[in-house]
């Protein structure tokens, strides 16, 4: 879980505030469900968010507000704005005296990530822009962060009566309800007859009957709440990747690639270059990278990496990252082959070095040590590497109960035991007894494979397991349908006896061969007799395939 402090009002140079983070969250594709619990709302707050709410409605499954009307802290115009936008809004009203609905809580939920913003900011211009406010933003992985899961479950449990809409204190905002709230004098009016917009100094705590003073708001700019000017004398040298950087990036990286090809293959932009814009861009990219964290946006960093941008000087770090990416792609390849339908990625550390994925498992084990800060395994995992592993839901600590996946290393150990069985020549073209562990295991694998083929499925045995076990069996003369193989080879052996005897007859050598080798001839004729006898019992769906073997060679039998 990552915690970030969001504060504004004391220092206009602060980069983080609730307003900016709400906008970033509504614009993000990481979330699909939003719920906001807000004590007070004004038109300045709802208007600032209006364009971003409109965009979010096209990609979010649900956007819902729970807003209070205590102490006349919410305006008629704010609720009108939400109603006109079609934003699902519920009004919470507790009629008890001295009880105020007072939360400021925003929940963004997604398949991979969850974000919680909680603090002192209401949905007002002051609350998300100018007041002295303090909030905390908590970001965590939706399905794997146990502490985050515990927190979100506690919040949902506490607010369950609101979320499932069962409390009688909650009403859906409609035109009629809005009209009733105005008649009951529960909302304040912001649009005055003189055209001015006013917001009250609302009583933020106890109920009071005293008339409140108003603050006159001459004008407001929808976007002004999200960009702040730094007026402090102690300016930070920290750089950020802004909107203008995004706009210019495509053109500048194309110029950089041409510069690399034609002037400096090392990728270092000389301070003497005539293209001063390219030089300053190159310098800024380096500074953003060296600042660490998320200073350099993830998607921008990946494009720079593809262009072989020389991070860390002449390219030592770039070469390390390129090699890391190649190894990462091997993990992706393993996952797509072994378990493509799973939402998680788990790679065991295989014990058998002959396993084709031994190195992949070993690499993943190294990343786990790096993540723990073990310096013997290289530098600590970078933000970029961490996010790449998160993108495939890599399982750092295996828990078979949580992820409902078998341990691949145990399966591989069984395969190694089967290899040891076949290392003895006497076991060629045999299978271990089912009374042994390995024989029972092999029978289970064969059953899964045949059932998967029969039912046209792909979830019973992964492609890589089928390939690894299939290769070992084929190498040792064993087919997946072992019982069928034994029957077929028995029939083929008896057909060979029949062909041998027929050849003796054609050459008039029966008498001579009987005189010399009577026991062998008797064995061949017994095989032929057994085959004719057995063929009388094959007239059923299970055994009818055996007739084809006889028909292919012209063996005479009584067809039923």
pLDDT tens digits along 14-72: 567 788 888 888 988 889 999 999 999 988 888 888 888 888 888 898 999 999 998 88
Q: Do residues 34 and 177 share a domain?
A: yes
- 218 burial type by CB count under 10 A (0-12 exposed, 13-18 middle, 19+ buried): exposed
Q: Do residues 108 and 149 share a domain?
A: yes
Q: Do residues 489 and 472 share a domain?
A: no
Instruction: Tell me, yes or no, whether 17 lies in a domain.
Output: yes
Q: Do residues 179 and 282 share a domain?
A: no
Q: How many separate domains does the chain show?
A: 5
Helix (H, G, I), strand (E, B) or coil at 355: coil
Say how far apart CA 201 and CA 214 lie, in whole Å. Answer: 6
Cβ 110 vs Cβ 142: under 8 Å: yes
Helical residues (DSSP H) of 100-215, grouped into ranges: 125, 146-158, 160-163, 175-183
- What pLDDT shows up at residue 9? 61
Instruction: Tell me, yes or no, whether 502 lies in a domain.
Output: yes
User: Does the predicted TM-score (pTM) go above 0.85?
Assistant: no
Domain boundary among 447, 476, 505: 476
Domain that holds residue 383: 327-392
Of the candidates 210, 367, 241, 357, which has an alpha carbon nearest to the alpha carbon of residue 303?
241
Backbone angles phi, psi at 279, to 5 degrees: -60, -45
Say how far apart CA 546 and CA 232 lie, in whole Å. Answer: 91
Q: Do residues 143 and 37 share a domain?
A: yes
Q: Do residues 448 and 359 share a domain?
A: no
Q: Do residues 67 and 185 share a domain?
A: yes
Instruction: Tell me, yes or no, whether 300 lies in a domain.
Output: yes
Q: Do residues 251 and 372 share a domain?
A: no
Instruction: Tell me, yes or no, whether 207 lies in a domain.
Output: no
Say how far apart CA 525 and CA 342 lie, in whole Å. Answer: 57
Cβ 501 vs Cβ 528: under 8 Å: yes
Q: Do residues 44 and 139 share a domain?
A: yes
> Rg of the chain's alpha carbons, rounded to an integer?
37
Instruction: Tell me, yes or no, whether 228 lies in a domain.
Output: no
Q: Do residues 292 and 424 share a domain?
A: no
Instruction: Tell me, yes or no, whether 472 lies in a domain.
Output: yes
- What pLDDT shows up at residue 293? 60
Instruction: Tell me, yes or no, whether 286 lies in a domain.
Output: yes
Instruction: Tell me, yes or no, whether 220 lies in a domain.
Output: no
Domain boundary among 476, 500, 527: 476
- What pLDDT shows up at residue 72? 87
- What pLDDT shows up at residue 432? 92
Of the candidates 27, 28, 65, 70, which has an alpha carbon nearest to the alpha carbon of residue 46?
65
Q: Do residues 385 and 514 share a domain?
A: no
Joined together, the tokens standing for residue 315 give: 């390219």
Q: Do residues 145 and 291 share a domain?
A: no
Q: Which residues of the chain have pLDDT under 50?
A: 193, 203, 205-213, 215-235, 314, 400-406
């Amino acid at each position: 879980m990552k915690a970030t402090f969001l504060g504004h009002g004391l220092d206009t140079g602060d980069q983080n505030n609730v307003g900016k983070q709400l906008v970033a969250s509504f614009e993000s594709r990481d979330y699909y469900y939003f719920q906001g619990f807000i004590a007070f709302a004004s038109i300045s707050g709802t208007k600032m968010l209006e364009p971003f709410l409109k965009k979010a409605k096209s990609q979010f499954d649900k956007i819902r507000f729970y807003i209070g009307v205590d102490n006349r802290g919410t305006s008629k115009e704010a609720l009108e704005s939400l109603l006109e936008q079609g934003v699902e809004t519920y009004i919470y009203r507790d009629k008890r005296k001295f009880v105020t609905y007072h939360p400021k809580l925003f929940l963004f939920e997604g398949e991979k990530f969850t974000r919680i913003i909680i603090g002192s900011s209401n949905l007002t211009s002051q609350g998300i822009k100018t007041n002295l406010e303090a909030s905390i933003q908590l970001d965590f992985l939706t399905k794997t962060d146990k502490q985050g899961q515990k927190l979100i479950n506690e919040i949902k449990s506490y607010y369950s009566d609101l979320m499932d809409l069962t409390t009688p204190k909650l009403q859906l905002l409609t035109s009629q309800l809005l009209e009733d709230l105005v008649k009951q004098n529960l909302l304040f009016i912001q649009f005055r007859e003189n055209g001015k917009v006013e917001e009250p100094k609302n009583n933020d705590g106890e109920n009071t009957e005293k008339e409140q003073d108003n603050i006159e708001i001459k004008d407001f700019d929808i976007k002004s709440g999200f960009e702040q000017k730094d007026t402090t004398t102690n300016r930070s040298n920290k750089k950020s990747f802004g909107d203008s950087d995004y706009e210019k990036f495509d053109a500048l990286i194309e110029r950089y690639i041409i510069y690399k090809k034609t002037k400096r293959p090392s990728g270092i932009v000389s301070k003497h270059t005539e293209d001063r814009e390219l030089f300053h861009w190159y310098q800024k990219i380096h500074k953003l990278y060296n600042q660490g964290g998320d200073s350099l946006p993830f998607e921008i960093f990946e494009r720079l990496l593809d262009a072989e941008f020389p991070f860390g000087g002449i390219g030592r770090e770039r070469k390390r990252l390129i090699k890391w990416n190649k190894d990462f792609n091997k993990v992706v390849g393993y996952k797509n082959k072994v378990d493509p339908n799973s939402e998680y990625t788990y790679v065991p550390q295989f014990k058998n070095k002959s396993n084709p994925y031994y190195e992949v498992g070993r690499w993943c084990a190294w990343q786990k040590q790096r993540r723990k800060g073990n310096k013997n395994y290289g530098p600590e995992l970078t933000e970029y590497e961490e996010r790449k592993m998160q993108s495939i839901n890599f399982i750092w600590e295996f828990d078979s109960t949580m992820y409902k996946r078998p341990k691949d290393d145990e399966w591989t150990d069984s395969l190694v035991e089967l290899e040891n069985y076949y290392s003895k020549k006497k076991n060629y073209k045999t299978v271990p007894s089912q009374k042994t562990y390995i024989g029972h295991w092999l029978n289970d694998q064969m059953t899964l494979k045949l059932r998967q083929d029969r039912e046209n499925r792909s979830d019973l045995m992964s492609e890589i397991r089928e390939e690894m076990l299939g290769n070992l069996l084929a190498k040792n003369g064993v087919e997946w349908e072992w019982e069928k193989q034994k029957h077929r080879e028995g029939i083929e052996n008896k057909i060979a006896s029949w062909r041998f005897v027929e050849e003796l007859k054609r050459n008039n050598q029966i008498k001579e061969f009987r005189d010399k080798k009577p026991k062998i001839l008797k064995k061949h004729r017994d095989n032929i007799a057994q085959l004719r006898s057995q063929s009388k019992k094959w007239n059923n769906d299970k055994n009818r395939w055996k007739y084809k073997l006889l028909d292919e060679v012209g063996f005479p039998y009584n067809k039923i």
